Amino acid sequence: MAANKQLHAIVFLLSYLVTRPAWFGNGASSAAQEIRKGFSVTHDSSYSEFQSLLADPTGVFSLGFLRVDSSQLDLAVIHLPSSSALWRANPARPLLWSASALLSFNGSLVLSDSRTGVLWSTATADGDRLVLLNSSNLQIQKMAGAAATVLWQSFDFPSDTLVQDQNFTSTAALFSKDQRFSMRLGSSYFALYMDLDGGSTPVMYWKHSALDVKVLIVPDEGPIYARVDPHGFLGMYQKEAAPVDVFPFDSFNREISGLRRLTLESDGNLRAYYWNGSIWVRDLETIAHRCELPAVCGAYGLCNSADSRCSCLDNSTEEGCLPPGSGHFCGDGGSEFRILRRKGVDLANQELVAYRKVASLEECEGSCEQNCSCWGAIYHNASGFCYRLDYPIQTLVEGDMRREGYFKVRVRTSGGGGGAGRTARVALLVVGSVVFAGAALFGAYSLWSRRRQMRAGMDGSMVEGLAPGSYKDLNSASFRSLELSNSFSFRK
C-alpha cells in the first residue's frame, strides 16, 4: 500500500512538472531584476516555451527567449500571467528555436547567432544597466550616482502592441506579427495600412480623425502622440494636458484595475483588451464587420456583407481565386492582359480611395485601360464616380448591381497560388487558337493549291487567289470563340 502511495506521488509530481507553466523554474522569482555590463547568456533550447532572463519588480513581466510559432525564437517581454508577448525585438527575422542564440550586454543589448552574426541591437554604447520596469518598459540606463538617464527603451520601438501609458509617436509604427499590416500616426489622425506584394506603397484601409483635432493643435507646440489611457480610450495629445482627441473603448470611463493593451492582429484588425485577473477581455474591435477587413477573402476575393461568406471575383469555385500577382502593370514588360468585369462589386473603404466624376462606364474603364499604374476601377452608375485602384486587387465587397468593376488581368503562365491552373488554361486557349488557325490556313492553302493546279490545266494563263470560302471559315463564330477577347499589349 505504501509503495502504491509513493508511486502515485511520483506520477503526480511528474505530471505537475510536465504541465507546469513554461517559465516555471526560471520565472520572475528566480530571474534577475537588473543586468549589468559584461552579461551574456546562450539560449537553452531545453526550455519548452520561454527562458526568463530579467524580471520587473512586481514579477508580472519578464524578458527572455520566447518560442514563436512552435519552431522560432525571438527576444521578448511577456506578461507572465497570460504568457502574452507585449514586445518583441526582432519579429521580422526570428531565429530557429534550436539555434545557438546569444544575448549580451556591454553598454548595448545585442542578440546574435554564431552562424549569422548580429541579428538585432539597441545600438547604444554607454549603457550601464538593463532594467525592466513594472510598466513592461525595458530600459538601458546610464548611471550617475543614484540618478539614471534613459539611453534606450522598448516603449519607443513597439512591435504589435501598445500598453497603457506608452506614448506612440509618428516615428514609430505597430506591425502585425506577419508584418503585413501596420498602424501609423499622422499629423492629426491615426490609420491602418496594408503592405502589398511587389514593393507598392502601403495602402490605407482604415482611418480615424476627429474634425476638431486640427483646431485644437497649436502650431510649434510639438508633435502629436497617442497613448492608451487607463480610463479606457486611445487619446491623441500634443502636450501633457487634456487630449485633443479621444477614441473610446467599450469600457470607456469605467474603473478597470487590470492592465490595458491595444494590439494590431494578424487579420489587420486593431483590438483593445484589459486583463481581469484570469483572461484578456476584448474591449474594442476597430473594424466591426468582417467584410471590411482588407484581406479577409484574399486577393481577387469577394465578401458577402450579409453573411460574410467569401467567393471569387471571377466566379471560380474549384481552384481558388486569382493569385495576388495576377494584375497588369507597366513593369510586366509587354505582357498582354484580359479584362475581367463584374457587376455588383464595391470597396469596403471607398472614402479612402481617390475618385473622379465621369460621364459613363466606358470613360471610367478607358481612364484605367491605358494607365500603367491602374490595376482596376469601380464605377458607381448612380453618382458617376470612378474609383481607380492603383495597387494590387485585394478583397472587395458585394454591392448593388449599379456598381461595376473593371480589372486588368495578365495573360501569362507565370505566378503561383490557386489561380495558376486558370492562368495555364488561358495559355492553352491561346495555343489552341494558334493551332486551329494554322490548321485552317493549311487546309485553305491545300484547297488553293489543288484548284490552282486544276485551273492551270484548264487555262495556263489564269492565276486564282485564295478561295473566298476560306476567309469566311476563318471569321466564323466557332473560330472567334477561341480567340482571347479584349487583349492589349503595353510595352515600355
The pLDDT tens digits of the residues spanning 243-268 come to 888 999 999 988 898 999 999 999 99
Q: Could you report the per-residue pLDDT of 362-402, keeping only the tens digit for each?
A: 999 999 988 888 899 999 999 999 999 988 899 999 988 99
Q: What is the pLDDT of residue 332?
A: 56
DSSP 224-251: -EEEEETTTEEEEESSSSS-SEEEE-TT
What cell numbers appear for 198 in the block?
511587389
Q: Show Cβ contacts of residue 302 under 8 Å, excluding neighbours closer than 6 positions.
A: 310, 311, 312, 313, 342, 345, 395, 396, 397, 398
pLDDT band at 116 (very low <50, low <70, confident <90, very high): confident
Higher pLDDT, 419 or 67: 67
Is pTM beyond 0.85? Reply is no
Residue 209 · residue 188 · CB < 8 Å: yes
Q: Is 222 left (phi over 0), alpha (psi -120 to 50) or beta?
A: left
Same fold, 26-154 and 158-288: yes
Q: Could you report the per-residue pLDDT of 204-249, keeping only the tens digit for each?
A: 999 998 766 666 777 777 788 999 999 999 999 988 778 888 999 9
Give me the sign of the Cα torsion angle 287, 289, 294, 296.
positive
416 DSSP 8-state letter: -
Cα 297 to Cα 321: distance, rounded to the nearest angstrom: 9
Asked if residue 29 has pLDDT above 70, the reply is no
**In the chain, what are the domain boundaries?**
26-154, 158-288, 292-410
Q: What is the pLDDT of residue 351?
A: 87
Q: Residue 453: helix, strand or coil by DSSP?
A: helix
**Three-class secondary structure assignment of 118-142:** EEEECCCCCCCEEEECCCCCEEEEE
Cα 303 to Cα 297: distance, rounded to the nearest angstrom: 6
Q: Is 143 left (phi over 0), alpha (psi -120 to 50) or beta?
A: beta
> What's the fold here for domain 26-154?
Agglutinin, subunit A (2.90.10)
> What's the fold here for domain 292-410?
Hepatocyte Growth Factor (3.50.4)
Asked if residue 488 has pLDDT above 80, the reply is no
* 108, 152, 198, 220, 408 from 392: Cα distances, Å: 41, 38, 9, 39, 10
Backbone angles phi, psi at 62, to 5 degrees: -150, 145
Asked if residue 94 has pLDDT above 80, the reply is yes
Q: Could you report the per-residue pLDDT of 295-310, keeping only the tens digit for each?
A: 999 999 999 999 999 9
Q: Class assignment of domain 158-288?
A: mainly beta
Higher pLDDT, 3 or 66: 66
Residue 371 · residue 312 · CB < 8 Å: no
Asked if residue 470 has pLDDT above 80, the reply is no
Average pLDDT of the residues of the chain = 79
What cell numbers appear for 226 in the block?
497617442
Q: Could you report the per-residue pLDDT of 137-193, keeping only the tens digit for each?
A: 999 999 999 899 999 999 999 999 999 999 999 999 999 999 999 999 998 899 999
Burial code of 372-398, b = ≥16 C-beta within 10 A, e = fewer?
A: eebbbbbbbeeebbbbbbbbbbbbbbb
User: What is the CA angle 39-42-44, rounded to 5?
Assistant: 135
Q: Is 274 left (phi over 0), alpha (psi -120 to 50) or beta?
A: beta
C-alpha neighbours within 13 Å on the C-beta side of residue 381: 10
Nearest alpha carbon to residue 179 among 119, 96, 91, 261? 91
Which residues share a beta bridge with 182?
175, 193
Nearest alpha carbon to residue 463 among 477, 473, 449, 475? 449
Backbone angles phi, psi at 473, to 5 degrees: -65, -40
